[in-house]
Amino acid sequence: MSAASRQPRTLVEKIWDDHVVTEQPGAPSVLAIDLHLVHEVTSPQAFTGLRRRGLRVRHPERTVATADHSVPTTPRNLPILDEMAAAQVRQLETNCREFGVPLHGIGDPSQGIVHVIGPQLGLTQPGMTIVCGDSHTSTHGAFGALAFGIGTSEVEMVLATQCLLQRRPKTYEVRVDGRLAAGVSAKDIILNLLSRIGVGGGTGHVFEYRGSAIEALSMEQRMTICNMSIEGGARAGLIAPDETTFEYLHGRPHAPQGVEWEAAVDRWRTLPTDDGAVFDRTITIDAGALEPMVTYGTNPGMGLPISSNVPDPAEAADDQRRRGLEQALTYMDLQPGQPLLGQKVDVVFVGSCTNGRISDLRLAAAALDGRKVAAGVRMLVVPGSDEVKREAEAEGLDEIFRAAGADWREAGCSMCIAMNGDQLSPGQYAVSTSNRNFEGRQGKGGRTFLASPLTAAASAIAGAIADPRRLPGIETLAAVGGR
Q: Is 97 helix (H, G, I), strand (E, B) or coil?
A: helix
Three-class secondary structure of residue 165 per DSSP: strand
Minimum Å gap between C-beta 262 and other proteins is: 16
Site for other proteins in 64-83 (CB under 8 A): 64, 69-70, 82
Instruction: Kindly tell me which of 93 and 215 has the beta carbon lying closer to other proteins.
Output: 93
The correct pick among 72, 105, 149, 272 for binding other proteins (CB under 8 A) is 149
Q: Work out which of 76, 444, 470, 483 binds other proteins, going by CB under 8 A.
A: 444
| Cα-based angle 378, 382, 385 (whole degrees, multiple of 5) | 175
Q: Are 286 and 177 in contact (CB under 8 A)?
A: yes
- CB 350 to other proteins: min, Å: 20
Closer to other proteins by CB, 411 or 418: give it. Answer: 418
Determine the straight-line distance between the first and last CA of the chain, rounded to whole angstroms: 40
| Helices 83-99 and 44-53: angle between axes, nearest 10 degrees | 40
CB of 24 to other proteins, least distance (A): 9
CA dist 465 and 369 (Å) reads: 19
Spell out, one character per residue from 223 to 242, where the chain touches other proteins: x when CB under 8 A holds, - when not. -------xx-x-x-------
The upper half-sphere exposure of residue 394, i.e. CA atoms within 13 Å in the direction of its Cβ, equals 7
Using an 8 Å Cβ cutoff, are 382 and 388 in contact?
Answer: no
Q: How far apart are CA 141 and CA 225, in angstroms?
A: 9
Residues 345-404 that bind other proteins (CB under 8 A): none
Give yes or no for residue 265 binding other proteins (CB under 8 A).
no
Total residues binding other proteins (CB under 8 A): 83
Cβ atoms within 10 A of the Cβ of 137, count?
A: 28
Could you say whether residue 440 binds other proteins (CB under 8 A)? yes
Give the DSSP H or E segment for 254. Answer: none
CB of 471 to other proteins, least distance (A): 32
Q: What distance lies between CA 232 and its chain's CA centroid? A: 13
Which of residues 14 and 441 has its CB atom nearest to other proteins in the complex?
441
| CB closer to other proteins out of 275 and 320 | 320
Binding residue for other proteins, selected from 32, 265, 316, 403, defined by CB under 8 A: 32
Which region among 197-205, 282-290, 336-344, 347-355 touches other proteins (by CB under 8 A)? 197-205
**204 touches other proteins by CB under 8 A:** yes
Q: Label residues 247-275 b or e (16+ Cβ within 10 Å = b).
A: ebbeebeebbeeeeeeebbeebeebbbee
The C-alpha atoms of residue 191 and residue 138 are separated, in whole angstroms, by 15
Residue from the set 426, 427, 473, 482 that interacts with other proteins by CB under 8 A: 426
Rg (CA), the chain: 22
Q: How far apart are CA 317 and CA 299, in angstroms?
A: 18
Who's near 394: CB < 8 A, 6+ residues apart?
Answer: none
Relative to beta strand 293-295, strand 303-305 is antiparallel
Least Å distance, CB 174 to other proteins, is 17
* Residue number, 325 or 454, with CB nearest to other proteins: 325
Judged by CB under 8 A, the chain residues 7 through 26 that form the site for other proteins are: 21-22, 26
Q: Exactly one of 34, 220, 369, 387 binds other proteins (CB under 8 A); which one?
A: 34
Q: Which of 134, 220, 387, 467 binds other proteins (CB under 8 A)?
A: 134
- Least separation in angstroms between CB 72 and other proteins: 13
Nearer CB in complex with other proteins: 127/383:
127
In the set 128, 189, 392, 450, which binds other proteins (CB under 8 A)?
128
Min dist CB 402 to other proteins, Å, is 29
Nearer to other proteins, 405 or 440 (CB): 440
Nearest distance from residue 409's CB to other proteins, in Å?
Answer: 18
